[in-house]
Amino acid sequence: MGAITKLTAAVSKKESLRTTVPRSIVQQLNLTSDDSLDWQLEVRDKELIIVVRPLKRTDEQHRD
């Protein structure tokens, strides 16, 4: 099993949730507070998989 984080409400009375990116992942992906994460859902072998890809500020600028 990988790192486990707890979800908390991002804003009260809203459906968005917030979590913390584990330090090991921050270090492995060299993330900073200005980076974004691209979240995608995929089905693989009848399982729902969440794929998270880091987007650096320069990556985001190229997506516009």
Query: Could you tell me the domains of the chain?
Result: 8-63 (2.10.260)
Average pLDDT over residues 2-15: 87
44, β-bridge pairs: 47
* Percent of the chain whose predicted confidence (pLDDT) is above 90: 61
pLDDT number for residue 15: 86
Is residue 62 predicted with pLDDT exceeding 60? no
Average pLDDT over residues 35-57: 92
Distance CA 5, CA 19 (A): 6
pLDDT tier for residue 61 given thresholds of 50, 70 and 90: low
Annotate 32-63 with DSSP letters as a single string: -TT-EEEEEEEEETTEEEEEEEEE-HHHHHHH
